[in-house]
A and B are shown apart, each in its own frame.
Chain A
Amino acid sequence: MHALRKHIHPGWLIIAPLLVLVVALYLGPILNILWLSVTDPEPGFGNYAKLGESDALLRILWTTVRICIITTMFSVTLGYSIAYAMVHCHQRQKNYMLTLLLVSFWISILVRTFSWLMLLGRKGLVNVTLEDIGLIAEPIAFMRNEFGVLIGMIHYMIPYAVLPLLVSMQALDKRVMDASSNLGATGAQTFWRIYLPLTTPGLVASTLLVFILSLGFYVTPAVLGGGKVLMVAEYISVQLLVTLKWGTAAMLAALMLFGVLAMLWIMSQFMKLSTVFGGAAR
């Protein structure tokens, strides 16, 4: 026991329970899924070859990527505006803003999706109001199309976009901006040439975070897309629960997983990942 202690730090003893649990019950089956993608229904890269053969699969992938890109662009731009306003106002006002942000963060995804259903449906509040004031004669289709999915996703992702940006903006040295304006730069010049470049790490973190979270998003596309907008996550669930085709689902999951890991790697090139996830750097 004593000899063992010399080599292994006793701290590992209390790390072990969680580590064992995650390796056995999480990493194990994920590796199994990766394995399935090249063995089910028969060994080989048949599942991946389907990507070249099936237009339907390609269309689903393209829909997913397109929706994720648009969602990310809007969420990060709007999130930047919110974070900028929060950093540049009085403490009191900032606290109120932070409260609203966190409350929206905490409201159940199902409650929010339900609300959009009530607002955007054919007889939803938005259509009824527009009809009442005579702006439109026929209800507009806000749902069961990409527009509805995008609204729901952007609404969900904005808080995730704001938080990394907020961290990065708060860490800035305000004297740099003062120096810039003392040297005669206009406000716009200071913003575009000093402020924006200095917040790049935050922008990258927020962009990749939102993109990663959007990739696997299931609830909102399934409800607001109403079966018309098929994204990868929903397709996987249909493959598993309805048609029972593990091979295709495993292939799509593997693609998604590698995409996410690649993005995490890019992210790690820009910053210490622990700062994004709030880990402790001692």
Chain B
Amino acid sequence: MKVGLFSLFNRVGAWVLLLFLVTPALIAIPVSLTPKRFLSMPSGELSLRHFQKLFTSEEWLSSFFQSGVIAISTSVLATTLGTLCAIGLWRVSSKYSELVRAFLLLPLIIPQIISAMAFYRLWIPLGLLDSYVGLILAHTILAAPMVLITVSASLATFDPKLEQASKNLGASNWTTMRMVILPSIKPGVFAGALFAFILSWDEIVVTLFISKFSVYTLPRRMWNGIRENTDPTVAAAAVVLIAITFIAFVIFAIQSRRNASNNAT
């Protein structure tokens, strides 16, 4: 019976830990509702003035917009390149292709500060510092490995005989890709696109190095707010980000449940 007791104890501990992982972020909610002009917990009275400021401030709105543009472009570009590459690697499947796969995953594991240095170093002579193109390219290189992983995972369960069947029936490479392969790996492509979006939307280290004035993303503005540590608008922005995370998560959960039930039938 000792085992049961230990397991029970461990399970309670695990729940406490999991709550410890999620709950601290929620403190942004009360702080964002403070009626005062500085960061503080509200006592009694609540106010939405900081949300009002967030949604009327030109600076914050432009940051939301810029982050949105960059994250969507990154997601589209990384998903296209990553999906093509994953399909290519899957079809080649040789010693060299596995080497290339390992190499392409490096941006994910190399510390971001080193990636930031590398982009900073190259963007100076290329004149890409502080530009949309520079940020989108950098984020795409960081996000493409995510797409590579999710699409490869989908391809692992795809039956290669289907591809042969399609070709034997006279379909061209392009038709096979569009009509046979892509529909079967849709969940992986979708997950990859979502991860790429989030990575870019949330990216701060590389962004700190390669943006200055003209491109000022949301994480960058939040970083400034956190460093200054006075204006409660940051708390309101944090609440909006938590809400967006939550919505994205629900979409993701519904989508994967739908895929699961599709596979079951």
Interface residues of A (CB under 8 A from B): 9-19, 21-22, 25-26, 28-30, 32-33, 78, 81-82, 84-86, 88-89, 97, 99-104, 106-119, 123, 125, 128, 155, 158-159, 186-188, 212-213, 215-219, 223, 232-233, 236-237, 240-241, 249-250, 253, 256-257, 260, 264, 273-274, 277-282
Contact = CB atoms under 8 A, between A and B. Distances in A.
B18 A26 contact: no
B111 A89 contact: no
Given A106-B198, A108-B241, A256-B111, A9 B91 contact: yes
Contacts, number: 265
Q: Is the interface of A mostly helix, strand, loop or mixed?
A: helix
B219 A108 contact: yes
Given A12-B88, A114-B235, A282 B93 contact: yes
Contacts of A215: 111
Contact of A257 (B20, B114, B209): B114
Nearest to A159: B21
Contacts of A125: 27, 41
Contact of B209 (A106, A240, A253): A240
Contact of A110 (B87, B138, B152, B219): B219
21 contacts: A12-B92, A21-B141, A22-B107, A81-B10, A97-B15, A100-B19, A100-B22, A103-B246, A108-B238, A108-B242, A110-B241, A111-B25, A115-B28, A128-B41, A159-B21, A217-B111, A236-B117, A260-B111, A279-B105, A280-B155, A282-B155
Contact of A108 (B7, B82, B245): B245
Interface string B6-21: 1100110111011111
B136 to A, nearest CB: 12
Interface of B: 2-3, 6-7, 10-11, 13-15, 17-22, 24-28, 31, 39-41, 81-82, 84-85, 87-94, 97-98, 100-122, 137-138, 140-141, 144, 148-150, 152-153, 155-156, 173, 198, 202, 204-205, 208-209, 219, 222-223, 226-227, 229, 234-235, 238, 241-242, 245-246, 248-249, 253
Contacts of B3: 186-188
Greatest chain B CB density within 10 A among A26, A115, A119, A233 is at: A26
Given A104-B21, A119-B24, A280-B156, A274 B122 contact: no
A29 B93 contact: no
A78 B24 contact: no
A18 B84 contact: yes
B204 A109 contact: yes
Nearest to B28: A115
B113 A216 contact: yes
A102 B91 CA distance: 32
A215 B110 CA distance: 10
